[in-house]
Structure 1
Amino acid sequence: MLLQKKDRIYWKECYRIVGAAMTVHSILGCGFLEGVYQEALSIEMKKCGIPFEEQKELRINYNGITLQKHYVADFLCYDKIIVEIKATKNLAPEHHAQVMNYLKATNKNCGLLINFGESSLDFKKIIHGIIK
């Protein structure tokens, strides 16, 4: 199956981030709080040489004015991929909406939603609001 052009956006970078998340999940399993996974993923991404900012403040622009209210993403990797992590039994539509809003607010093209709360790591790539 050929990937569509939009599916290939930041493919290598996403592959490396998800690989780091898989390593964390294989060591810790499921059942910890989100903060535990965030700290462990931070350690693993450093080890893998993945550039990131943790707890990245995302400013929101409304009609040319930057709002005082803002979002805080778990990670901004490679200065272009927003990574939001969860530790829940199932991903819900509001989790997807959260990442889509982050993308809209920042004009970024790609987000990863990663859930450590299931027996197998679950992740979704979101491109301009399209879930992959």
Structure 2
Amino acid sequence: MTENELSKVVFDAGLKIHKKLGAGLFEHVYEECLFYELSKTGLWIERQKLFPIIYEDLKIENAFRLDIIIENKLILEIKTVDYINSTHKAQLLTYLKMTDCKLGLLLNFQSDVFKNGVTRMVNHL
């Protein structure tokens, strides 16, 4: 599947979860539900995946952790905040660059309308 096709699968799963649970829960609840829904698709999915960073001659193990990565193509960053700010976007863009993934989604389950809480970030797509 392409990154865009994967993002559609994620959006549909997120919408289903948001309709059923609404806003107001902790991030880990939405992450767990999203992982559960996506696991039904047969896609390769990892949660809380740790990555190292290489800086010159220094290797920093476990430098950052992805909420969810799908097929080594799409990164999901789960939030439950009043609004997505520039720090959230910078975080995801850095993750995209560090992993060489092309597409990431910020999914803010705090939003009253799920689609308004979804932000797409691209890295040379």
2:118 to 118, 123, 128: 123
Q: What fraction of aligned residue pairs are identical, expressed as a percent?
A: 30
- Residue type of the alignment partner of 2:121: I
- Give the 3-state SS of the residue equivalent to 1:68 in structure 2: strand
Gaps of 5+ in 2: none
Distance across 2 between alignment mates of 1:99 and 1:60: 15
Deviation for aligned residue 1:66: 2.9
Deviations 1:98-119 (A, max 9, x none): 1011112222221111100011
- Residue type of the alignment partner of 1:49: G
Gaps of 5+ in 1: 1-8
- Residue type of the alignment partner of 1:19: D
The answer to whether residue 91 in structure 2 is matched with residue 98 in structure 1 is yes
Q: 1:128 to 1:77 in 2, by over 3 A?
A: same
Per the normalisation by structure 1, the TM-score is 0.83
> What is the CA RMSD across the aligned residues, in angstroms?
1.9
2:65 to 43, 66, 72: 72
The answer to whether residue 54 in structure 2 is matched with residue 57 in structure 1 is no
Residue pair 1:59, 1:106 contacting (<8 A) in 2 also = no
Deviation for aligned residue 1:27: 0.7
